[in-house]
Amino acid sequence: GAGVSQSPSNKVTEKGKDVELRCDPISGHTALYWYRQSLGQGLEFLIYFQGNSAPDKSGLPSDRFSAERTGGSVSTLTIQRTQQEDSAVYLCASSLELSRGYNSPLHFGNGTRLTVT
Amino acid sequence: AQSVTQLDSQVPVFEEAPVELRCNYSSSVSVYLFWYVQYPNQGLQLLLKYLSGSTLVKGINGFEAEFNKSQTSFHLRKPSVHISDTAEYFCAVTLNTGFQKLVFGTGTRLLVSP
């Protein structure tokens, strides 16, 4: 596709359930990022992938959060035993290879709005 | 650690008036600076960035920003706004780590009215 695609666009889940959020980056983009946008915390970095490896996962808030990337493309963010404070918009972004540095802008998806009831 | 402050949560302005959205940052080392815009029901989009060189940076849609190292500021300006500029604007910084681990401000909602 032309842009970063995220699914589902909306997810309502009960407290304690597991959820999976999916991100399809722009074709050819080797760098992939997850951010979270919430009312209380604003926009926060969660994790960064270069290819299939995650050199920086320091923003994951707890061990209930995990992410993987396969084939250097699709990424899945998994939240286990969801809590109400996990309610937020989860944003995925991708960019061209690292060697291009910051001249390669981040392209953001429209996000997945997660509501934990 | 780096931080970004956007003191104005909301800025109302009339169409064709000039606007300035303020951004101040805190960092003990050099940073790269960005402004992103989020239109209603859309993803974040890069407006402009400062990496090095000229401190006046021009971006898309007629926006520009000036990097002021002594005041640790990166204010966003537009000489004449349009209704279509109504959106949320985010200032962000990152270190030169080789990847874009952005630290965002809390955002400023620009409301342009006729």
Q: What is the pLDDT of residues B54-107, one digit of tens each?
A: 999 999 999 999 999 999 999 999 999 999 999 999 999 988 777 788 999 999
Query: What's the pLDDT score for residue A13?
Result: 97
- pLDDT of residue A35 exceeding 90, the answer is yes
Chain B interface, mutation test: which of A32, A43, A91, most B Cβ atoms within 10 Å? A43
Per the CB < 8 A criterion, the answer to whether A32 and A93 are in contact is yes
Which residues in B lie closer than 8 A to residue A102 (C-beta atoms)? 32, 49, 51, 94, 100
